[in-house]
């Protein structure tokens, strides 16, 4: 069997008529970059945001056409909004920038909704969504996110985790989950699960070594589908493991998802703190409450003697939290057990629940939940998938 090519996909899509039966979706420039992995085809169709619901049949027609190509095992086709889509309809008003969206009161520590801000659609059954973020990579954010989620669960909560790092998903490895998720009715995906955590990640949909070469609209579309088209069930908290930095995913989550708060992960040294400040500034500008800062790799405990070494310095994140008036959630040491358990997909909170490291994560989870409950968390509105 020959491999499916982008040219085959585009040739097939060129037979799909555009909106109002004018032209075709390829010549109108409505088809994003086509991504093919494991004989599955992924792409988005750019449409005017005010016509997205009406053009669902167009998406379905494109999906059927691609699935009919010999050798194609499946297709994931999503609609993404853009003012320049191939349609004569008037463009919708542009979304406000994060800077324009944040009212001046935010700089004084108050949180008031902007007068004309649209309501962000929530996820049915999910009580609160929190983001775990960092300003840079290499600070142990994903390991922290997984153990925080498991810590929340150990404290009696119903918890799920969403891997929002489209380009470098790590949740499948950290939770030792393999295989592909099952698609149930109405294009809804059943989440994968291990250790009692429901999980969703792009790593479940593509091979681990596949390079994701997607532009912003595709990333946004895939992220929102993994969030809103997954059967999460009833959850108290959905933990979102964000990619490092302050790019497309962060802005998508901030502008389109009702985040209850964000947790920032940093190491103690000055360089990491500089990047952590960027993440803090971004969340404040888009009015996402900061639940607190975690100092990861805070100190090293020698496994043979128990002696403590401040390899990266110590206390920098706590000092930063005090300086900017953000809760400090705790210090996580750099220990062999956390690293080894993470590498093999058995997080320390479940692998060694009585260990000092597991106790630290449970206490951080307790403080995080206390911060969350201290704020007003509105139930997510029910939404219907067409």
Sequence-separated (6 or more) residues with CB below 8 Å from residue 201: 162, 163, 169, 171, 172, 192, 226
Confidence of residue 211 (pLDDT cuts 50, 70, 90): low
DSSP 193: E
Q: Looking at per-residue confidence, does 172 or 217 come out higher?
A: 172
Weakest mean pLDDT among 129-133, 282-286, 329-333: 282-286
How high is the pLDDT of residue 106? 33
For residue 84, pLDDT beyond 90:
no
Q: Are residues 183 and 288 in the same domain?
A: yes
Among 80, 83, 58, 62, which residue's Cα sits nearest to residue 72? Answer: 62
273 domain residue, yes or no: yes
Among 10-24, 141-155, 168-182, 210-224, name the one with the lowest average pLDDT.
210-224
| 1 or 358, which is more confident | 358
pLDDT of 176 reads: 93
How is residue 189 annotated by DSSP? B
The answer to whether 142 and 170 are in contact (CB under 8 A) is: yes
Residues 72 and 186 in one domain: no
Which residues, other chains included, contact 358 with Cβ-Cβ below 8 Å and sequence gap of 6+?
A: 147, 151, 154, 348, 349, 352
Listing DSSP states for 235-270 in one string gives EEEEEEEPPSSSSHHHHHHHHHS---EEEEEE-SSH
Same domain? 278 vs 190? yes
Q: Are residues 149 and 69 part of one domain?
A: no
Residue 33 maps to which CATH number? 3.30.300.130
* pLDDT at position 235: 95
Asked whether the CA dihedral 204, 210, 211, 213 is positive or negative, the reply is negative
Q: Do residue 166 and residue 224 come from a single domain?
A: yes
Residue 321: pLDDT band with limits 50, 70, 90: confident
Is the pLDDT assigned to residue 136 strictly greater than 90? Answer: no
Burial pattern 129-154, b for ≥16 Cβ within 10 A else e, equals bbbbbbbbeebbbbbbbbbbbbbbbb
Q: How confident is the model at residue 384 (pLDDT cuts 50, 70, 90)?
A: very low
Task: Please check whether residues 192 and 67 belong to one and the same domain.
Answer: no
∠ CA 349-239-345, nearest 5°, is 40
Q: In total, how many domains does the chain have?
A: 2
CATH of the domain at 290: 3.40.50.300
* pLDDT value, residue 335: 82
Does residue 188 share a domain with residue 65? no
Residue 100 inside a domain? The answer is: no
Domain boundary among 46, 81, 116: 81
* Of residues 20 and 101, more confidently modeled: 20
Q: What is the pLDDT of residues 271-296, one digit of tens each?
A: 556 777 777 888 888 788 999 999 98
Which pLDDT score is estimated for 300?
Answer: 80
Evaluate if residue 35 carries a pLDDT over 60.
yes
Distances (CA, A) of 210 to 70, 142, 202: 22, 19, 11
- pLDDT the model gives residue 195: 95
Q: Could you say which of 19, 52, 81 is where a domain stops?
A: 81
The answer as to whether 121 is a domain residue is no
* Pairing verdict, β 328-334 and 261-266: unpaired
Q: Which domain holds residue 182?
A: 126-373
pLDDT surpassing 80 at residue 312: no
Confidence of residue 114 (pLDDT cuts 50, 70, 90): very low
pLDDT value of residue 379: 41
Check pLDDT > 80 for residue 155: yes
- Whether residue 277 contacts residue 135, with contact meaning beta carbons closer than 8 Å, is answered with yes
Compute the average pLDDT of residues 159-165. 92
Question: Could you give the CA distance from residue 185 to residue 235 in angstroms, rounded to a whole number?
Answer: 20
29 and 160 together in one domain: no
Q: Same domain for 73 and 169?
A: no
What CA–CA distances, in Å, run from 136 to 16, 98, 118, 273, 297? Answer: 42, 20, 30, 9, 14
- pLDDT over 80 (residue 382): no
Indicate if 135 and 214 belong to the same structural domain.
yes
Residue 118 above 80 pLDDT?
no
In a domain, 63, yes or no: yes
Q: What is the mean pLDDT of residues 203-219?
A: 68
């Amino acid at each position: 069997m020959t491999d499916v090519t982008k040219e085959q996909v585009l040739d097939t899509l060129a037979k799909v008529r555009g909106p109002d039966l004018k032209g075709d979706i390829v010549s109108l420039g409505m088809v994003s970059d086509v991504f093919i992995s494991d004989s599955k085809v992924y792409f988005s169709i750019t449409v005017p945001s005010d016509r997205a619901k009406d053009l669902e049949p167009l998406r379905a027609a494109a999906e059927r056409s691609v699935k009919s190509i010999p050798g194609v095992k499946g297709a994931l086709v999503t609609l993404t909004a853009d003012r320049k889509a191939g349609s004569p309809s008037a463009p919708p008003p542009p979304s406000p920038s994060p800077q324009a969206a944040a009212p001046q009161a935010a700089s004084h520590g108050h949180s008031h909704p902007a007068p004309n801000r649209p309501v962000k659609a929530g996820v049915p059954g999910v009580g609160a969504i929190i983001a775990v973020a960092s300003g840079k990579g290499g600070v142990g954010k994903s390991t922290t996110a997984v153990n925080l989620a498991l810590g929340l669960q150990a404290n009696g909560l119903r918890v799920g985790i969403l891997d929002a790092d489209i380009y470098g998903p790590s949740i499948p490895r950290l939770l030792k989950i393999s295989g592909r998720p099952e698609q149930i009715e109405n294009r809804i995906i059943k989440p994968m699960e291990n250790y009692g955590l429901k999980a969703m990640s792009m790593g479940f949909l593509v091979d681990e070594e596949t390079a994701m070469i997607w532009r912003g609209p595709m990333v946004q579309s895939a992220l929102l589908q993994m969030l809103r088209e997954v059967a999460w069930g009833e959850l108290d908290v959905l933990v979102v493991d964000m990619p490092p930095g302050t790019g497309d995913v962060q802005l998508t989550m901030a502008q389109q998802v009702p985040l209850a708060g964000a947790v920032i992960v940093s190491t103690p040294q000055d360089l990491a703190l500089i990047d952590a400040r960027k993440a803090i500034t971004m969340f404040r500008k888009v009015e996402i409450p900061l639940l607190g800062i975690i100092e990861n790799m805070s100190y090293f405990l020698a496994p043979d003697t128990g002696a403590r070494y401040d390899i990266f310095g110590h206390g920098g994140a706590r000092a930063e939290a005090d300086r900017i008036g953000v809760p400090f959630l705790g210090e996580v040491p750099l220990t062999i057990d956390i690293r080894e358990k993470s590498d093999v997909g058995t997080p320390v909170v479940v692998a060694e629940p009585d260990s000092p490291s597991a106790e630290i994560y449970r206490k951080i989870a307790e403080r995080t939940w206390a911060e969350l409950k201290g704020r007003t968390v509105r139930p997510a509105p029910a939404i219907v998938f067409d």
